[in-house]
Amino acid sequence: MQNTASQVKAVGMVVEYNPFHNGHLYQLQQAKKETGADVVIVVMSSSFLQRGEPALLSKWSRTKMALACGVDLVLELPYAYATQKAETFAKGAISILTAAGVDCLHFGSESGFIEEFHELLHVMQQHEGEWDLLVKENMSKGHSYPRASSLAFNQLGVETTLSLEQPNNILGYHYIKAISDQNSSIIPFTTKRIAAGYHDRTITSHTIASATSIREAIFSGEDQTSLVQQVMPSVSYAELTNYSQTTHHLHNWEQYFPFLQYRILTSSTDELASIYECVEGLEYRVIDTISKATSFQEWMNLLKTKRYTWTRLQRLATHILTHTTKAELDYVHNSPLPYIRPLGMNDRGQAYLRTLKKKSAVPLLSRFASSTDLLATLELRASRAYLAPLPQEIRQKRMDEEFKAPIRL
């Protein structure tokens, strides 16, 4: 699908903004500069994220951060795609951006060279069958999927300059693959990540830090306000503070542990076995370890094995919490995109949507209550689970947001 408004050039980005920090602002500026785009559209993960974690603050507050910092239109990456391995995550995001008519995709990577991604895609297309067999063979030996994939790549013996040991390179590769698989006309661009690595757990730069290190600082129990402030735009930090003060919460897994523990202890093995990502008898280990743990961190340490990464198990925990089954997600992942849901926009974004609405083959969902699609049903369930730790009055007020028209600033 070509851009629905030929006189307007749109660049798309896939984001979590958990929370929006100076590194995100840098990427936003680079995206505009490198693509010459008139409109910036982001598809943003909703309440739960790709690594199987609850977002620090709601999608509505993160939308406000994005719009205040220069994004023109925020579209929702629904739960069914936001909480998935890189390939499925990218598939959902690219399908939304393609339906939204963007011209370009911009993503951050450890590489910084888009040619390396195209070269790797070409190599993998030539060896796809052989690579799949090697992955299955390595997993049968007890390796996790990421490790099995890395081993398979090395066993192929092909030459490439792109490292798939780095998380943003992995996502970037799957964006390129999804564009190819979907025959999308989107042109990809990438910018090299600067100053802070994806997994950095401490704030070391005066201006740019990873989202992980910001969250670690917030939950450290120490007053690191000045450190957090210096690595976030002032409007973004103000929204973070406002959310914390009005809800008395910034979300993390420990707040959900009692709900998760209850869900597991009152479920049968058959019920747990039906949950997405619960495979190879994991339901027995889940039940055996949950009653021994007094915190989410302790439970994860008991649950983790060589075969399953921490991230994979966190995603399983998320699906248990939201009672999301294999049958439900298999249906969604094998169905066409049913709608595009805007979360917020400025005047430029609104003008773009007006044009898109007239020509897009995928309908725009402006009022959530109007949809009965399974994708929306799963999103509603995830939202309720996400808000469960909040006090009842605040929870109800925040739940009402789910049924309002998109935010307009």
Task: Give the residue numbers of the binding site.
Answer: 14-27, 108, 168, 193-194
Helices 257-265, 310-322: axis angle to 10 degrees equals: 70
Using DSSP's 3-state secondary structure scheme, residue 349 falls into helix
Among candidate residues 19, 60, 77, the one with its CA nearest the CA of residue 340: 77
Peptide bond into 406 cis (omega under 30): no
Amino acid identity for residue 37 in this structure: A
**Residues 6 or more apart whose Cβ sits within 8 Å of residue 252:** 53, 54, 56, 215, 219
**Which backbone phi and psi does 245 adopt, to 5 degrees?**
-75, -35
- How far is C-alpha 109 from the chain's CA centre? 15
Spell out a b/e string for 396-407, using b for 16 or more CB atoms within 10 Å of the CB, else e: eebeebbeeebb
Among candidate residues 180, 100, 140, the one with its CA nearest the CA of residue 356: 100
**Residues 6 or more apart whose Cβ sits within 8 Å of residue 287:** 264, 265, 267, 269, 272
Residue 132: how many other CB atoms lie within 10 Å: 11
Among candidate residues 306, 289, 287, the one with its CA nearest the CA of residue 298: 289
Q: Read off the tokens for 122.
A: 């070409």
Summarize the annotated binding site for ATP as residue ranges. 14-27, 108, 168, 193-194
